């Protein structure tokens, strides 16, 4: 009898947790029930924060039921990608996903899995946006809920597409079960978690394609990914300047053109760092000509034209969201 009870308990744990935890984590809970007790441990891991840009504008167009169906459609796809990359979904906050990779089962390549998940999420988003258009132009499939179908039609009619911003940081964090004995969640905390959350929003400042990673994450991923350098910045509540990088693609999937483009980008940023502003503008302008969708290049051209080439620097009063310190070449990110 005890064996059948134990089997039932394991099945319950597996079904209850497999939706938001990676298999490794679920197996650890099953094999070691003491890991299910309250309290946190320190882990070297990566935190992922995601958010849909201008999601409030979706809420204004959709009924509560349509919004719920759309969110479930989106969150299911994105969460599956995180879990497939050995991550754990910590929580959902509306349209935002908070996830971690590298706990409670220590994982030396946590940063690689986090970055791989982010790139796959952005690719899944492209497919999702295409699917929304395709479904809305055809009769409703029999399996699809009416509310999801009407949500798709409303998004297309209003030219709305889903755009996810993702921030990733790696380092020492606390992870464990927090709450009460009756209700507890597996979650993470610490300064390094806060930085990942901050980076998600900074994508907006730089007009990226959606993924920002910190210097510490970049140092852990070797040369497996194509990344581009942005600025050294100071963020709110964190004193030490950190390097910002935009995560672009898995290197093995990158075209020669993309690799060449990013090499030229690094040359432009080196000129910018060395205060050769005229040369930096020349290089950035030629990149913007090659790729008219490169809003990051346009952002730097704007800073050069309106400030650096005129011998001035962005200050808080200018409303740019950044303040430049010419003494150390570091941008301070202001809270918008």
237 and 96 in a common domain = yes
Alpha-carbon distance of 308 to 299, in angstroms, equals 13
221 and 120 in a common domain = yes
Give the pLDDT band of residue 16 (cuts 50, 70, 90): low
Question: How high does pLDDT run on average in the chain?
Answer: 92
Asked whether residue 197 is domain-assigned, the answer is yes
Alpha-carbon distance of 117 to 109, in angstroms, equals 13
207 and 134 in a common domain = yes
Asked whether residue 15 is domain-assigned, the answer is no
What domain range includes position 51? 41-250
More confident residue, 222 or 27: 222
Please report the pLDDT score of residue 19 as a whole number.
66
Alpha-carbon distance of 35 to 274, in angstroms, equals 51
Asked whether residue 92 carries a pLDDT value surpassing 90, the answer given is yes
Q: Which of the listed residues 200, 233, 250 is the one where a domain comes to its end? A: 250
Asked whether residue 8 carries a pLDDT value surpassing 90, the answer given is no
Alpha-carbon distance of 250 to 319, in angstroms, equals 35
Alpha-carbon distance of 144 to 161, in angstroms, equals 19
Alpha-carbon distance of 117 to 81, in angstroms, equals 6
User: CB-side exposure of 14: number of CA atoms within 13 Å?
Assistant: 10
Give the pLDDT band of residue 334 (cuts 50, 70, 90): confident
Asked whether residue 2 carries a pLDDT value surpassing 70, the answer given is no
pLDDT tens profile 35-77 = 666 788 999 999 999 999 999 999 999 999 999 999 999 999 9
Looking at the chain, the whole-number percentage of residues with pLDDT higher than 90 is 79
- Rounded mean pLDDT, 231-236: 88
Alpha-carbon distance of 262 to 297, in angstroms, equals 11
pLDDT tens profile 271-292 = 999 999 999 999 999 999 999 9
Please report the pLDDT score of residue 165 as a whole number.
98
245 and 266 in a common domain = no
* Least confident interval from 21-30, 113-122, 208-217, 284-293: 21-30
Alpha-carbon distance of 38 to 185, in angstroms, equals 9
Q: What pTM did the predictor assign?
A: 0.92
Total domain count, the chain: 2
């Amino acid at each position: 009898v005890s064996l059948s009870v134990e089997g039932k308990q394991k099945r319950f744990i597996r079904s209850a947790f497999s939706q938001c935890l990676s298999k490794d984590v679920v197996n650890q809970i099953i094999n070691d029930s003491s890991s299910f007790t309250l309290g946190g441990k320190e882990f070297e891991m990566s935190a992922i924060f995601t958010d849909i840009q201008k999601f409030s504008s979706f809420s204004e167009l959709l009924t509560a039921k349509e919004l719920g169906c759309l969110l479930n459609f989106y969150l299911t796809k994105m969460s599956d990608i995180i879990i497939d990359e050995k991550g754990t979904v910590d929580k959902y906050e509306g349209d935002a996903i908070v996830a971690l990779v590298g706990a409670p089962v220590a994982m030396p390549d946590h940063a690689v899995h986090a970055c791989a998940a982010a790139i796959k999420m952005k690719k899944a988003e492209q497919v999702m946006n295409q699917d929304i258009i395709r479904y809305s132009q055809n009769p409703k499939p029999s399996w699809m809920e009416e509310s999801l179908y009407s949500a798709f039609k409303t998004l297309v009619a209003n030219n709305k597409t889903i755009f996810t911003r993702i921030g990733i940081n790696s380092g020492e964090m606390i992870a464990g079960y927090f709450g009460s004995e009756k209700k507890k969640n597996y979650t993470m905390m610490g300064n390094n978690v806060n930085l990942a959350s901050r980076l998600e929003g900074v994508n907006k400042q730089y007009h990226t394609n959606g993924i920002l990673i910190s210097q510490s994450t970049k140092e852990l991923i070797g040369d497996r990914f194509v990344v581009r350098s942005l600025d050294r910045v100071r963020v709110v509540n964190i004193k030490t300047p950190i390097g910002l990088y935009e995560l672009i693609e898995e290197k093995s999937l990158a075209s020669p053109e993309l690799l060449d483009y990013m090499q030229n980008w690094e040359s432009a940023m080196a000129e910018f760092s060395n205060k050769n502003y005229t040369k930096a503008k020349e290089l950035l302008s030629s990149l913007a000509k090659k790729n008219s969708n490169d809003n990051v290049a346009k952002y730097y051209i704007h800073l050069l034209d309106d400030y650096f080439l005129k011998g001035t620097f962005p200050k808080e009063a200018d409303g740019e969201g950044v303040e430049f310190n010419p003494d150390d070449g570091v941008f301070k990110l202001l809270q918008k």
